[in-house]
Amino acid sequence: MPVLAKIRALSNETRFEIVKLVRDRELEAGAVARRFKISRPAVSQHLGVLREAGLLRERRVGSKRLYVVRAEAFDELLEFIEGYWSPRLQRLKSAAEAIERDKVKK
């Protein structure tokens, strides 16, 4: 799943909270839903979006469905931002050094 899809999935406040909820423990769909004031189906749909984006893993146990964050997804997100950002930082660093050199020349 592309990074933008993950960002989009995280951009909704309810989904953002859901991710926090299942960040370090599996939780069944119903338990997640009970934490919010919106309807259970609405939460179910949010869980679907998060799963589709690759942010959550779903596991079925009997009639229950357990959700938990996919660690790899977050690592991927982190790597993306780092990789996206560090080239810029290097360029800025080079620019700063160039300015320093100019100052010395003056």
Which residues contact DNA by CB under 7 A?
Answer: 8, 11-12, 14, 28-31, 33, 37-42, 44-49, 58, 61-65
Stretch of 29-37, 38-46, 58-66, 79-87 contacting a copy of itself, by CB under 8 A: 79-87
CA atoms within 13 A on the CB side of 16: 6
Report the DSSP beta bridge partners of residue 27: 67
What would the two tokens of residue 104 be? 């010395």
Least distance (Å) from a copy of itself to the CB of residue 24?
Answer: 5
**Which CB sits closer to a copy of itself, 22 or 47?**
22
Classify residue 23 by its DSSP letter: S
Task: Answer left, alpha or beta for residue 28, where phi above 0 means left and psi between -120 and 50 means alpha.
Answer: beta
Question: In the chain, helix, strand, coil percent, each to 5?
Answer: 65, 15, 20
Residues 43-72 that bind a copy of itself (CB under 8 A): 69, 71
Residues that bind a copy of itself (CB under 8 A): 4, 7-8, 10-11, 13, 16, 23-24, 69, 71, 74-75, 77-78, 81-82, 84-85, 87-89, 91-92
